Chains A and B, each alone.
Chain A
Amino acid sequence: MIGVGKIKQYSNVLDKPLSKGKQEVSLSAFAFLFSELVQYNQTQVDNIAELERSRLEDAGYAVGARVLELLCHRDKGNRRETRLLGILSFVHSTVWKVLFGKVADSLEKGTEHEDEYMISEKELLVNRFISIPKDMGTFNCGAFVAGIVRGVLDGAGFPAVVTAHFVPVEGQQRPRTTILIKFAEEVLRREARLG
């Protein structure tokens, strides 16, 4: 059997054909890795806000930036969305489907602010096994996913502030998670110009 392994060697990672993205690992493997990511980052911060806003979100941002490049190349023939609704729907459908195996539950426009959009998920994949201790208040590990969204949007030229929030749902024991996207002013001005 020696030498019949599946892996081929490439002198340069760029020579390697891009995978089709069909390979899978167990959800458990991801869950343990994500749990360890959160635990490690807890040791690197002084407070919960820092853990959420700078550490987990940054880790997610690094993923989002790469996901954008990967998907634009593989799924969109090296094109990317240039309009606001186009990019939002790309995140809500294409990105979600690839990363989390399903389209996000909903994409809505904020009712009070023109520049706000919300992607909601009844049960965010990263939160599947996670119970937030009472003393951590509104902390949400979905900050990682918010970071992914920010990474995708930023890379595509739609800078935004993106945050994750628990939202109670009537009749449900567990709250859903809403990813709140607040676009930068320049994005809305550009949209207005494009008409």
Chain B
Amino acid sequence: MRFGSRRIRTCVFALNIRQVSNDSRKPTGSGFRTVFRVGLIYSGFIFESGLKDYGSSGRMDTNDSLRVASLWHSMHAISQQLSPISGCFGIELLQADTFDLHCFQSLTGTKFFVVCEPGTQHMEGLLKHIYELYTDYVLKNPFYEMEMPIRCELFDINLTQAIQKDRVALLAR
């Protein structure tokens, strides 16, 4: 972020993470149950993650991600204007009929979001945990340049672990 800059560069990244679990209530042919997408919009800048895509359904390509990120960024800002009382810091949850989108925004303006099945619990905890992973494995990595796409193996490894179901349940405690 260039301090005081008026430019908004559009940007996002999304990770499509499909979670595989055996005890899902909604069996599907391919064996996976919950689709998470985790992304972070950093003051309008995008990160692309090196995480693999786990299939074609439910995936977003880069353009989709960009579109979502810029739209979200705008909606977030508009919500602050829309609020009938002052002190609104943006949208935390968007509920659609087929998914929930949770957003966590740090005080530095970094936004993290996760797209999940409607009603999935403990997403705030997950996002907070991802924020901590970001401060460890992205911000402390000398080879990560601010504002550039995230390509940090350790971040990906830890993110994948975090999104595993047990982990999410653990975070809820």
Contact = CB atoms under 8 A, between A and B. Distances in A.
Interface in B132-164: 136-137, 139-143, 151-155, 157
B151 A130 contact: no
B140 A31 contact: yes
B140 A129 contact: yes
Interface of B: 136-137, 139-143, 151-155, 157
Contacts of A19: none
A131 B151 CA distance: 8
A46 B152 CA distance: 23
Contacts of A37: 142
Contacts of A11: none
A130 B142 contact: yes
Interface of A: 28, 31-32, 34-39, 42, 129-133, 136, 141, 173-174
B143 A133 contact: yes
Contacts of A31: 140
B140 A131 contact: no
Which 3 pairs of residues, A with B, have the shortest CB-CB distance?
A38-B142, A129-B140, A131-B153
A28 B139 CA distance: 10
Contact of A28 (B140, B152, B154): B140
Nearest to A31: B140
A92 to B, nearest CB: 26
Contacts of B141: 35, 129-131
A133 B141 CA distance: 10
B142 A42 contact: yes
Contacts of A132: 143, 153
Q: Is the interface of A mostly helix, strand, loop or mixed?
A: helix
The interface centre, meaning the residue of B136, B142, B154 with most chain A CB atoms within 10 A of its CB, is B142
Contacts of A36: 142
A129 B143 contact: no
A131 B141 CA distance: 7
Nearest to A32: B140
B142 A141 contact: yes
Contacts of B137: 129, 131
A6 to B, nearest CB: 29
A132 to B, nearest CB: 7
Contacts of A34: 142
Contacts of B153: 131-132
Given A129-B136, A133-B151, 5 more contacts: A35-B140, A39-B142, A129-B141, A130-B154, A131-B154
Nearest to A134: B151
The interface centre, meaning the residue of A36, A129, A131 with most chain B CB atoms within 10 A of its CB, is A131
Nearest to A141: B142
19 contacts: A32-B139, A34-B142, A35-B141, A35-B142, A42-B142, A129-B137, A129-B140, A129-B141, A129-B154, A130-B140, A130-B142, A131-B137, A131-B143, A131-B151, A131-B153, A132-B143, A132-B153, A141-B142, A173-B157
The interface centre, meaning the residue of B137, B143, B155 with most chain A CB atoms within 10 A of its CB, is B143
Contacts of B142: 34-39, 42, 130, 141
A132 B141 CA distance: 9
